[in-house]
Amino acid sequence: SQKIEQNSEALNIQEGKTATLTCNYTNYSPAYLQWYRQDPGRGPVFLLLIRENEKEKRKERLKVTFDTTLKQSLFHITASQPADSATYLCALAGNYGQNFVFGPGTRLSVLP
């Protein structure tokens, strides 16, 4: 069955450092991969989408890579700030891109 894993349940880093979050999947060939941010008690907020034929996508301090051979996506936040503290979710969808399956999330804490 399809499985999505995010590297760790929680990740603590120091302010100013680069946070790297991992999303691994098995038994899946996604055409699209997305990353979301979720704050406690709120709905997820869309951050970035990357397609299977794209290796890397950037948006301001965010960078996403997508390696279909390794079946892995990496999500980087450079120059991290305490305001970046949240849970980050990866989500995958097949060719029709309609029904994204979400990973369990990684709770990131950026310490001042």
Partner 1 sequence: SQTIHQWPATLVQPVGSPLSLECTVEGTSNPNLYWYRQAAGRGLQLLFYSVGIGQISSEVPQNLSASRPQDRQFILSSKKLLLSDSGFYLCAWSEWEGHGYTFGSGTRLTVV
Read off the DSSP letter of residue 17: S
Q: From the CB of 74, what's the least distance to partner 1, in Å?
A: 19
Among the listed ranges 12-20, 21-29, 31-39, 54-62, the one in contact with partner 1 (CB under 8 A) is 31-39
Nearer to partner 1 among residue 17 and residue 42 (C-beta): 42
The reply to whether 62 sits near partner 1 by the rule CB under 8 A is no
Does the protein bind partner 1 through residue 93 (CB under 8 A)?
yes
Nearest to 33 by CA among 84, 86, 102, 88: 102
37 lies in the binding site for partner 1 (CB under 8 A) = no
In three-state secondary structure terms, 104 is coil
Residue 72 CA to residue 6 CA, distance in Å, equals 10
Q: Is 103 exposed, middle or buried (0-12, 13-18, 19+ CB in 10 A)?
A: buried
Q: Which residues bind partner 1 (CB under 8 A)?
A: 4, 31-32, 34, 36, 41-46, 49, 51, 89, 91, 93, 96-105
